Amino acid sequence: MKPILCALAMTALSVTMVAHADEAAPVEIKSLAPGTAPAAATIEDLAWLEGRWTGGGLGGVSEEIMSAPSGGQIMGMFRQSKADGTLQFYEFYHFAEEDGSVILRIKHFHPDLTGWEEKDEREAFPLVALGETAAYFDGLTFALVAPGELRAAVRISDQGRADFSYSKAD
């Protein structure tokens, strides 16, 4: 169980978990079996993530901003707000090439930029599988389900899952 996923559940106390942002098409969440190597990939395989994506999840408004691949990485930012616009938390992250695969590393922050994780800690999600427009990290998925339509899903400890549905904003 990833500690930050527990922290997400505890920090978002005022948020009502939404079973699925769009009941019609939830994306699959996969896990990396113990002793299994991460899937082979390069950062260019994830270039389809680039852009500013806005939508909903966790009962509020969600925004993802992901850069173009550069230097073997994609940098990203996430912002979660309540429906009334009250900021709940941020994530700063990157997808990085590592040992012939891509890993996703995330740090979480409160609205005042106080970190959830210790100074040198971050959550790491190795790549389980890669499709043409879907990236399955251990417990977290991004999938381009139609042009300009991105879905994401994350497993949150014993809470189940949280789903996000985005449209490309730029």
Q: How far is CA 110 from CA 33, 79, 97, 116, 121, in A?
A: 32, 10, 28, 7, 15
Query: 9 in helix, strand or coil?
Result: helix
> Kind of pairing, strands 140-146 and 160-168?
unpaired
Of 14, 31, 51, give the one whose Cα is nearest residue 161. Answer: 31
pTM of the model: 0.84
Which domains does the chain carry? 3-168 (2.40.128)
Q: What is the pLDDT of residue 24?
A: 52
Contacts made by residues 145-152, CB under 8 angstroms, sequence distance 24+: 145/25, 145/27, 150/49, 150/53, 150/55, 150/64, 151/21, 151/22, 151/25, 151/26, 151/27, 152/27, 152/57, 152/64
Which residue is it, tokens 């942002």?
21
How do the pLDDT tens digits run along the chain, 170 residues long? 344 443 343 333 223 333 334 445 789 999 999 999 999 999 999 999 999 999 999 999 999 999 999 999 999 999 999 999 999 999 999 999 999 999 999 999 999 999 999 999 999 999 999 999 999 999 999 999 999 999 999 998 877 899 999 999 97
Which one, of 55, 38, 69, lies nearest residue 135 by Cα?
Answer: 38
Dist CA 103 CA 85 (whole Å):
31
The pLDDT value given to residue 4:
44
Residue with tokens 């691949």: 69
Are the C-beta atoms of residues 160 and 26 closer than 8 Å to each other?
Answer: no
Q: Which tokens in the block code for residue 37?
A: 């190597």
